[in-house]
């Protein structure tokens, strides 16, 4: 009749024969079979966004509790804040502190982030000079997380702002709380008699943070 019948081609895949279409057969015969190949899904590409960014919300929440409740009697393993530093948790705390410090002045945000980065660098360099075994990432995380006490006292200051004496006491309490939380993690036994040399600049750093919030 002048017609040519295309032979059926079957593939043996795992003991099962699958009939190929005419187009598939044609492509394979011409050497273009690679166009029909399908890549397997890589499980690495299907990770949740938080896992991709290396964000552990449970770990961040635990570190927040360690900073807000620095008393050893409460049973928290507070050294995890120093020994297992992360970036996103401290950054979130610093940005939140920046947001409540705005008062319509967006320059405050850049100032607070700058003071966090370079203030932590100063504490790190001083700690290394004094013989402390601490990494810059650890200092950055501890200083960032320890801003939480200043965030806690911020709404209280809005209420008692008209009472100067009470407001001053609350500010001092917040600064001591933040400085104690940070110093208790960064100032180890290796400093011995040199502890005041590191505690004092940490205290001054949080006074400066508070001044950026209050505008003093």
Q: What is the pLDDT of residues 190-201, one digit of tens each?
A: 666 677 888 889
In DSSP terms, 13 is beta-bridged to: 16
Residue 31 lies in a domain: no
Burial 18-47 (b: 16+ CB within 10 A, else e): eeeeeeebebbeeeeeeeeeeeeeeeeeee
Residue 24 lies in a domain: no
Q: Is 18 helix (H, G, I), strand (E, B) or coil?
A: strand
Percent of the chain at pLDDT above 90?
A: 7
pTM of this structure: 0.68
Confidence tier at 165 by pLDDT (50, 70, 90): confident
Residue 17 lies in a domain: no
Residue 102 lies in a domain: yes
Overall number of domains in the chain: 1
What is the domain extent for residue 102? 48-212
Reported as a single tens digit per residue, the pLDDT across 53-68 is 677 888 888 888 888 8
Residue 191 lies in a domain: yes
CA pair distance 39, 49, nearest whole angstrom? 23
């Amino acid at each position: 009749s002048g017609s040519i019948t295309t032979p059926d081609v079957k593939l043996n895949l795992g003991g099962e024969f699958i009939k190929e279409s005419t187009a598939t057969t044609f492509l394979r015969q011409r050497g273009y079979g690679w166009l029909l190949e399908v890549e397997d899904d890589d499980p690495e590409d299907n990770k949740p966004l938080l896992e991709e960014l290396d964000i552990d919300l449970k770990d961040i929440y635990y570190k927040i509790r360690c900073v807000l409740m620095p008393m050893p009697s409460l049973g928290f393993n507070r050294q995890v804040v120093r020994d297992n530093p992360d970036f996103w948790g401290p950054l979130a705390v610093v940005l939140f502190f920046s947001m409540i410090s705005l008062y319509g002045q967006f320059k405050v945000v850049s100032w607070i982030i700058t003071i966090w980065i370079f203030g932590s660098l100063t504490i790190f360099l001083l700690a290394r000079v004094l013989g402390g075994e601490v990494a810059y990432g650890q200092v950055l995380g501890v200083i960032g997380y320890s801003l939480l006490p200043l965030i806690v006292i911020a709404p209280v200051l809005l209420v008692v702002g008209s009472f100067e004496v009470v407001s001053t006491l609350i500010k001092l309490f917040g600064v001591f709380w933040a400085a104690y939380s940070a110093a208790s993690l960064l100032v180890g036994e290796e400093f011995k008699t040199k502890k005041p040399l590191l505690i004092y600049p940490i205290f001054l750093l949080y006074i400066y943070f508070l001044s950026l919030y209050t505008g003093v």
